[in-house]
Amino acid sequence: MINVSAKEVADLRAKTGAGMMDCKKALVEAAGDEGKAIEILKKKGALKAAKRAERETKAGVIESYIHANHKIGVIVEVLAESDFVAKNDEFKELAHDIALHIAAMNPQYINKDDVPASEMDRVAGEFGAELNDSGKPADIVKKIIDGKMEKYFADVCLLYQPFVKDNTKTIEDLINEKIAKIGEKIIVSRFSRFEIGC
Residue 78: its pLDDT value, please?
A: 96
Pick the CATH number of 6-51 from 1.10.540.10, 1.10.8.10, 3.40.50.261, 1.25.40.10: 1.10.8.10
The answer to whether the beta carbons of residues 18 and 41 sit under 8 Å apart is: yes
Query: Is the CATH number 3.30.479.20 carried by domain 59-110+157-195?
Result: yes
Q: Which of 196, 198, 182 is nearest to 59 (CA)?
A: 182
Report pTM: 0.69
Beta carbons within 10 angstroms of residue 1's beta carbon: 4
Residue 47: its pLDDT value, please?
A: 52
CA gap 161, 106 in Å, rounded: 10
Domain boundaries, the chain: 6-51, 59-110+157-195, 116-155
Give residue 52's pLDDT band: very low, low, confident or very high (50, 70, 90).
low
Report the sign of the C-alpha dihedral through residues 163, 165, 168, 169, in that order: negative
pLDDT in tens, 139-187: 888 888 888 999 999 999 999 999 999 999 999 999 988 888 888 889 9
CA gap 117, 115 in Å, rounded: 6
* Averaged pLDDT, 86-98: 93
